[in-house]
Chain A
């Protein structure tokens, strides 16, 4: 009993999270009026609070609950990032949700449960906990994808996501069982030690490939990327904003946890896979995005390319600098993506319906100069043009790559980022050089403007923020904590 109490304190943020979710569920069920609004803003505040809690409380590395969960600097920083980005994803949806159905209080609660799953995913220390956490994270996401229940595309997106997601979970489970069967342990440390002791074992390599397939599905990297454009397009735009941010970060960090932890002994096996996945994602994401006309499909392909860039950070193993660059890259990616979505959601073609086609953006700079300006800055940031945040993201990633001698991959990635710049500046061209075509109104939502302003400040003044705020130290400490 005492042991449980000693351990439970390290899970305080998860426990606060689940209590909040349950209380809000009750509140929503019994209070009919305005329930969605209250639930949204309450969960926003709780998530912001938790993200500061994760950063500010002392960072000790502990393994709790019989080594099934680990807490260290890395997991804490990642969790703070997850909470922070999810909180903004929740308020992005505020206006849409209230317009769509003001009794739909389940929406933020589903996000809270999914966030709980994510936070357990990054801190899982054995395969069973990890699998349960993945399922806890995914199930609410399937529901969210089909949340617009009167819309055929949204239901289609939900079903597609569910079927493919279940397949990837089963691949992951099969891989875990192989790894467990041949290494004799489900704990990460045990697997690591046993793999070190064994000679090269084909079955474990097969297990590794299956586990990797499951995880690569979650970060939507090539070759398991096909669901991304459809799910992005079909889901409601605020839901897409959530899909594009926190789940990607979580899956990526879990990949780090597994590859740098239990499977670090098999580096030569997974290294080639990650290398290929990274290159293929960059290439496919970049070239496919060029032809898109739907803005959410474009962002889907662009996120595939960004995942490819982020994966380069994994390749500097056994040097942990890559993890630091990956975290900085993801931090900037999250801010830019949330900012882009805040612009898109605030532009409406009809009441409560945000724009879909890229051409809808044409000429908005005349009517909404500020929104157009922020959108342009986010696009330049995606393209990696200095002095915006996106440049530093690319700079850190390629610095770690060149440091580990991946000159060819770096030049490949840099050249393709020029190709990527083409479709980002095409959006700017539409907004600034073209005449207005469709009639667009701008929703006056405080939460959207708030998100937009927070993100634009982060992206434009990143150079000052990185000087004042301890971003480099936090990420460095996280990478070091992971190394220990």
Chain B
């Protein structure tokens, strides 16, 4: 299967679908809208099915990149080089899995410019898969930055009331973060004479102070994207104003680009600087976990609450990555994967009630359980998963991360564990206020429970959340050899440094 260019097909198939939608004649409004929706849905489903071929062909024991394709573009500028290892495969599958749900969830809620909306999502899918699979640093930057264009349009055109402010904030914040990374990428190219990640890894030879500066440049981009405290403020705004599917994509996939960036670039390129800055990351992560959990507790807007909880959960991810042991890294990746499922599900749930009541204020709800019992069950499950109850996928990631942190720093582990309690506080608070108590809002009394389309969306997610909570090894197997490999690289430099110091 190696010569099938499977990765290119998966990456660019959504783009072909987008072209198809462009070609649909737009004379009859309702039928062309329906056509574009089904083209988008089928394209994304087929992409998902093809991406499953990657899982079949992937050799989990091999830590190097697989399915590699390489074409030189414009001699010296960049190469078109794709490939996956365990980390990127997890995120690619997550992306291809979630995009059909995004299209389904917007099936009825998007009424304005449906064709453009579907095109924007398919283009976004191509760019995201490209980001996770590119093995050339310029190609990576191309995909990584291009994501801004469709996302800006999605928030700005189909967003809520303060959409313009949020779209601008999202765009400029992330652009500012990644522009410094561009400078660092150029420096890497000049230093190594190559843009290929593998060659840069081999040839990179810089002293520690340069490493620190470059690390900070990459950090500025990934920290904004992830987002880490204190550069997280764009996220609640963007989440609140984006349409449901936009929030899902943001929380479930776009945030993971930051974590992926740390794993793919910061750690292997700049191991010394990563070790040097690990305490800083620890502090920021702990602050993120505790502080944003507290902030989430006082929110009156449901989407904002989930957005802040995302920031808190991403704190576990950075914590895990910078423990530099394979348990922590596996925990971080698993946490990203499971957060991708859980936050997507939660935002979809909010979207479902928002479509019915058109309000996001928690105080407008109450007593939902009497009219929407099925919905209450699903929401309960996802809230529990968000709290990291054992038996759900959220537990595995946070548990692994906290154990790994405990080996490095006891205080950090204790503080991080307290974050789990705080997440229970705001999670249960949200659930209680929405589902129990007196019905204060008359509109709630006539609400209908989930329809079949909504059940179709929530059941697979609920199944996976429980499945990976009880049986996490498929994911852990995928990433174990890659994470071992990464830890080996880090240990190697650590030992080198130790022996250098001994020689002195």
By a beta-carbon cutoff of 8 Å, the part of chain A in contact with chain B is 369, 380, 385-387, 391-392, 395, 398-399, 402-403, 407, 410-411, 414-415, 417-418, 421-422, 425, 428-429, 432-433, 463, 466-467, 471-472
Contact = CB atoms under 8 A, between A and B. Distances in A.
A421 B163 contact: no
Contacts of B164: 429, 433
B145 A432 contact: no
Nearest to B187: A402
A421 B190 contact: no
Given A385-B145, A402-B190, A432-B157, A425 B179 contact: no
16 contacts: A385-B175, A386-B142, A386-B145, A387-B142, A395-B182, A407-B183, A414-B179, A418-B172, A421-B171, A425-B168, A429-B164, A432-B156, A432-B157, A463-B142, A466-B73, A472-B74
A234 to B, nearest CB: 31
A51 to B, nearest CB: 22
A399 B77 CA distance: 10
B189 A399 contact: yes
A418 B175 contact: yes
A385 B146 contact: yes
Contacts of B168: 422, 425, 429
Contacts of A466: 73-74, 77
B179 to A, nearest CB: 5
B167 interface: yes
B153 interface: yes
Given A398-B183, A425-B171, 19 more contacts: A386-B141, A387-B142, A392-B77, A399-B186, A399-B190, A402-B190, A403-B190, A407-B183, A410-B186, A418-B172, A418-B179, A422-B172, A425-B168, A428-B153, A432-B153, A433-B163, A433-B167, A466-B73, A466-B77
Contacts of A414: 179-180, 182-183
A398 B182 contact: yes
A463 B73 contact: yes
Contact of A385 (B148, B153, B180, B183): B148
Contact of B145 (A391, A407, A410): A391
Nearest to A472: B74
Contacts of A463: 73-74, 142
A192 to B, nearest CB: 30
Contact of B176 (A380, A418, A425, A432): A418
A480 to B, nearest CB: 15
Contacts of A472: 74-77
A460 B164 CA distance: 25
Q: Is the interface of B mostly helix, strand, loop or mixed?
A: helix
A399 B186 CA distance: 6
Contacts of A418: 172, 175-176, 179
Contacts of A421: 171-172, 175
A407 B167 CA distance: 31
Q: Is the interface of A mostly helix, strand, loop or mixed?
A: helix
A422 B180 CA distance: 17
Contacts of B175: 385, 418, 421
B149 interface: yes
Interface of B: 73-77, 116, 138, 141-143, 145-146, 148-149, 152-153, 156-157, 163-164, 167-168, 171-172, 175-176, 179-180, 182-183, 186-187, 189-190
Contacts of B76: 472
Contacts of B148: 385
Contacts of B116: 369
Interface centre among B76, B77, B153 (most CB of A within 10 A): B77
B118 to A, nearest CB: 14
B186 A398 contact: yes
Contacts of A398: 182-183, 186
Contacts of B167: 429, 433
A332 B116 CA distance: 27
B156 A433 contact: yes
B63 to A, nearest CB: 30
Given A429-B156, A433-B167, A472-B74, A411 B183 contact: yes
Contact of A391 (B142, B153, B171, B190): B142
A7 B142 CA distance: 48
A466 B77 CA distance: 9
A422 to B, nearest CB: 6
B74 A467 contact: yes
A1 B75 CA distance: 47
Contact of A410 (B73, B143, B183): B183
Contacts of A415: 176, 179
Contacts of A433: 156-157, 163-164, 167
Contacts of B156: 428-429, 432-433
B261 to A, nearest CB: 16
Given A399-B186, A472-B77, A387 B153 contact: no
B75 A411 contact: no
A460 to B, nearest CB: 11
Contacts of B171: 421, 425
A347 to B, nearest CB: 20
Interface centre among B74, B142, B157, B180 (most CB of A within 10 A): B74
For the complex of A and B, the 9 pairs showing the least CB-CB separation, nearest first, are A386-B142, A466-B74, A433-B156, A414-B179, A386-B145, A418-B176, A387-B142, A467-B73, A402-B186
B172 A402 contact: no
A414 to B, nearest CB: 5
A413 to B, nearest CB: 10
A47 B143 CA distance: 37
Contacts of A385: 145-146, 148-149, 175
A380 B152 CA distance: 11
B186 A395 contact: yes
B146 A386 contact: yes
Contacts of A429: 156, 164, 167-168
Nearest to A425: B171
Nearest to A414: B179
A433 B161 CA distance: 11
Contacts of B189: 399
Contacts of B75: 472
B22 to A, nearest CB: 10
A321 to B, nearest CB: 11
A384 to B, nearest CB: 8
Nearest to A417: B179
B128 to A, nearest CB: 14
A471 B73 CA distance: 12
Given A398-B183, A398-B186, A387 B146 contact: yes
